Structure 1
Amino acid sequence: MSIVHQHDKRSGITYVYESTSYWDKEKKQGRSHRKLIGRLDPETGEVVATDGRGKRRGQAKQMDAPPPASKKGPVPSDRRERVFNGATYLFDRIGEETGITADLKTCFPNTYKQILSIAYYLILEDNNPLFRFKKWAKLHRHPDGQDIPSQRSTELFQCITEEDKARFFRLQAKRRMEDEYWAYDTTSISSYSESLKQVKYGKNKEDDKLPQFNLALLFGEESGLPFYYRKIAGNVPDVKTMKEMIRELDTPGYGKIKLCMDRGFYSKDNINALYKDHLKFLIGTSTALSYAKTFIHDIGGDKDQYANYNGELELYVFTKTIQWEYEHKRPNKGDTLKSSRRLYLHLYYHAEKQANDALIFNKKMDAYKQEILSGHRVLEHEKHYKKYFIIKETPKKGITLDYNQEAINQARERYGFFTLISNDIKDPVAALQLYRTRDVVEKAFGDLKDRLNMRRALTSSESALEGKLFVEFIALIFLSSIKKRMETADLFSKYTLHEVLDELDVIECYLEPGKAPVQGEVLKKQEELYRSLGVRPLLASPQC
């Protein structure tokens, strides 16, 4: 339950209602009941009981009504206070330009302001839990304009349905760049909950010993914005997630799909699935694959010839076209279709990487050797024992080792190389430049866990977790947009993200009942920041 203020412009009276949210099963959306409890005294700020006349009519008019259409220009305030609005003004403008606000309003007409307010809070209150929202709300001007208690935020999360989220994704898809590559990656989010079904023990990417669920994220590499995510059980490896992700992407109606992924998503089945659905891709692979080893062997001593050097990348670059042996199993007919598909194989060599690879390999060999001789063998390492060592054991001499030098030489031949494959990008330089931009996803995961406080899933119900992830995702879009604008304007050479937000967040706005908000002073430095971020500056004036 929450308290709602409704200002009547005709009478000048601000009425106060108790608002109780509930889920409408027939209309499949969140609704609310409002009960009139009085009017707001503009002088004291206290709620004064009404005499009841017109109460039933007023309640009927307010109950379940969508938010009134906002009019341009200042809206009179119903309270007297000074609040900060410099940073939230920036978010408002970004929401308008990216269409986030309009799309949220379409999909969540009764709660979009609360979603935006919580997203603003998550960005500005670095790593703070939601129960501190009340303090922040008193000090900031934000879309909802009032406190959202912990209970109400949980109810809000639970009212966010898969249908509404899918609709939002569809609307956002229409605004995206059709021809850009999308970086795809996953991260692990730990949880103490024993009631969440997808929280399982798995390979944690931060070596956290807790059970987890995994979060997959798609990020536009040119727009710099996230536009789709999905939650995955914590025990599902990366390589198993791609087919389902491809299937889900077809639902929102995305157009041409181009994916950029690291080697953790490489498998023969995944490449066949990408070809089957006519998707373009760029993916990292292991140099131990047969076609990569053959290419490296063919290059031989020419790997560091100047003719193969690229000064822009500071690497030696090689490429060739190979044939992928495509297979498509047809369960209904019980056969397998086979054909050859064109594939571009790009190789890159760096001398420093060669030295580093040699050091890593030698340390691993030392560890394998110690495990064998000590008798404490590791099951996962058995294939390496057999590949690189000739192991003998006798009652008299015990365990003795010799080395499979041929296998070691084959590994040494690959030192310093790394590999990309693509069915779309012919130029190895363009391929690597694009692949390097996929670190935008890693940075986004860092923002999500650290700045937006999602290192732990602090919810115990499935519906609340799903809704919270969506609100966190909205906050991530705003945050990513700001960082992209900062990169474009080269602001990171002068400021950190924290410094930019702090610089704008000190701008004040004065609110007085019955009058338009009065904007406080805006310094020249702050005006320049707004312009650099592509936003019309706030100007000190009688109106915000």
Structure 2
Amino acid sequence: MRRRHEKRNFHIYYSDGKAYSEKQEIKQRIHRLEKYLDSCVGKECVPFGPEIRKYFHLNYKKDGKTLKLAEENTSAVEKELSLAGYFAIVSSDNMTAREAIELYKSRDVSEKLFRSDKSYLGNKSMRVHSDEALSSKVFIQFIALILRSRIYIALKEKSEKMLKKPNYLTVPAALKELKKIVMIRQLDGVYRLDHAVTATQKIILDAFGLNEGNVRYQAKEIENILQKK
């Protein structure tokens, strides 16, 4: 049960991209309302909703029912536009604004993954035949999402430290690049790395605190295990 006086932390953010899209949406909405009101001029219209009354000054004829003129409430519209791009995150945990936004983004990615990528969950059905199997499958998927979230944050932090934003520091691109690190069986029967770690792969590995030496060490360990079989 949540305590009544639990502390809340408010983090306020601003995004240029979000501001632009929201301003466009507001302007389009005002334009649609204006066209609708133009079609109502000289007619007896049903009572207008709060949105129209908020953004327009409505003038009626003497009967009080026939719309005579609709004028844009510029102060209300400008106030709405001035708020575009701002958003807040409320947290009960004590964290910095950066930590809060990164956590929000990682959770947002996971939620979108559940909603949009049905194939990740096995299309529309879970394709299991028992409650135990269902529980196990959902558990594994949640573990996968947690790992994906950690990978996303690590790559994001690495990208922010670089002067240029490379396109390979996204989760799908990074995993695709790291999959190229493979071992093959050589002519002498020993498994070794197929090729040296590339510059791109080194940057990706660095995001996780790893380097080429870690890769070669793991490759050597795998080689020793395979030789014993």
Q: TM-score, normalised by structure 2?
A: 0.55
Q: Pick from 103, 107, 110: which aligns with 1:441?
A: 107
Residues 55 and 77, structure 2, Cα contact 8 Å, conserved in 1: no
Residues 75-94 of structure 1, C-alpha deviation per residue, up to 9 Å, x if partnerless? Answer: xxxxxxxxxxxxxxxxxxxx
Q: 1:355 to 1:402 in 2, by over 3 A?
A: same
Q: Pick from 197, 201, 225: which aligns with 1:543?
A: 225
- Determine helix, strand or coil for the equivalent of 2:68: strand
Listed as ranges, the gaps of 5+ residues in structure 2 are 41-45
Residues 256-314 of structure 1, C-alpha deviation per residue, up to 9 Å, x if partnerless? Answer: xxxxxxxxxxxxxxxxx6x726254336xxxxxxxxxxxxxxxxxxxxxxxxxxxxxxx
Structure 1: how far apart are the matches of 2:106 and 2:99?
11
Structure 2: how far apart are the matches of 1:501 and 1:350?
32
- Determine helix, strand or coil for the equivalent of 2:224: coil
Structure 1: how far apart are the matches of 2:202 and 2:16?
44
1:7-156 correspondence to structure 2 within 5 Å = none
Structure 2: how far apart are the matches of 1:359 and 1:351?
12
Q: How many residues align?
A: 191
Residues 150-180 of structure 1, C-alpha deviation per residue, up to 9 Å, x if partnerless? Answer: xxxxxxxxxxxxxxxxxxxxxxxxxxxxxxx
Residues 509 and 520, structure 1, Cα contact 8 Å, conserved in 2: yes
Point out the structure with the larger helix share: 2
Q: 1:460 to 1:279 in 2, by over 3 A?
A: farther
Residues 199-233 of structure 1, C-alpha deviation per residue, up to 9 Å, x if partnerless? Answer: xxxxxxxxxxxxxxxxxxxxxxxxxxxxxxxxxxx
Structure 2: how far apart are the matches of 1:364 and 1:499?
42
Structure 1: how far apart are the matches of 2:152 and 2:136?
25
Q: Pick from 26, 33, 36: which aligns with 1:368?
A: 33
* Higher RCO structure (Cα 8 Å, ≥6 apart): 1
Residues 7 and 92, structure 2, Cα contact 8 Å, conserved in 1: no
Structure 2: how far apart are the matches of 1:422 and 1:280?
7
Letter in 2 for 1:521: R
Residues 9 and 91, structure 2, Cα contact 8 Å, conserved in 1: yes
Q: Which position in structure 2 is the counterpart of 1:469?
A: 138
- Determine helix, strand or coil for the equivalent of 1:400: strand
Letter in 2 for 1:400: K
Residues 59 and 69, structure 2, Cα contact 8 Å, conserved in 1: yes
Q: TM-score, normalised by structure 1?
A: 0.27
Q: 1:368 to 1:509 in 2, by over 3 A?
A: farther
Point out the structure with the larger strand share: 1
Letter in 2 for 1:473: F
Q: Which position in structure 1 is the counterpart of 2:69?
A: 401
Q: Which position in structure 2 is the counterpart of 1:521?
A: 192
Residues 357 and 416, structure 1, Cα contact 8 Å, conserved in 2: no
Residues 352 and 416, structure 1, Cα contact 8 Å, conserved in 2: no
Letter in 1 for 2:120: N
Letter in 2 for 1:385: I
Q: Pick from 507, 518, 522: which aligns with 2:183?
A: 507
Deviation at 1:531, TM superposition (A): 5.8
- Determine helix, strand or coil for the equivalent of 1:453: helix
Q: Which position in structure 2 is the counterpart of 1:301?
A: none
Residues 121-165 of structure 1, C-alpha deviation per residue, up to 9 Å, x if partnerless? Answer: xxxxxxxxxxxxxxxxxxxxxxxxxxxxxxxxxxxxxxxxxxxxx
Residues 392 and 401, structure 1, Cα contact 8 Å, conserved in 2: yes
**Aligned-pair identity (%):** 14
Q: Which position in structure 1 is the counterpart of 2:166?
A: 493
Residues 368 and 385, structure 1, Cα contact 8 Å, conserved in 2: yes
Deviation at 1:538, TM superposition (A): 1.8
Letter in 1 for 2:192: E
- Determine helix, strand or coil for the equivalent of 2:10: strand
Q: Which position in structure 2 is the counterpart of 1:383?
A: 50
